Amino acid sequence: QGQLLESGGGSVQAGGSLRLSCAASAFTRRPYYMGWFREAPGKEREGVAAINTPGGIVYCSDSMKGRFSIPRDNVKYTLDLQMNSLKPEDSAMYYCAAVRDEVGVDPCLPSSVAYWGQGTQVTVST
């Protein structure tokens, strides 16, 4: 069974940067998208971005393009989320996730996720 462990959350002022990290277990030897989701209070969980084993990236929202990057290390089984130019609306619990890389699967949908991390809090203040 897969395991994902996030780290790197915290508080930052608007305009600042944070880098989240996710350590994955051996299940990553199968073809999976690795990605990030977030959930703000009172809102539904939403996809942030995902990357498959060959390095194909899917950004789940235009608001994240140009500000967020999602480097993946297939040797170390790690996934990061580099967040720049953070805004207060980026405040949320961020979750690392694994989605099976199969035809027809949307890696931005929570219903597609096979494994979840426990989450790490990101708070952006004005």
pLDDT in tens, 41-97: 999 999 999 998 888 999 999 988 899 999 988 888 899 999 999 999 999 999 999
Cα 67 to chain centroid, rounded: 13
In sequence order, what are the beta bridge partners of 58?
Answer: 50
Query: Rounded mean pLDDT of the chain?
Result: 92
Structure confidence at residue 3 as a pLDDT band (50, 70, 90): confident
Q: What is the DSSP letter of 79?
A: E
Query: What is the model's pLDDT at position 1?
Result: 61
With a cut of 70, say whether residue 28 has pLDDT above it.
Answer: no
- Write the single-letter amino acid at 56: G
Four-point Cα dihedral 122, 110, 89, 63, nearest 10: 120
Tokens describing residue 14: 């608007």
Tokens describing residue 124: 């952006």
Tokens describing residue 105: 């699967």
How many CB atoms lie under 10 A from the CB of residue 46?
A: 15
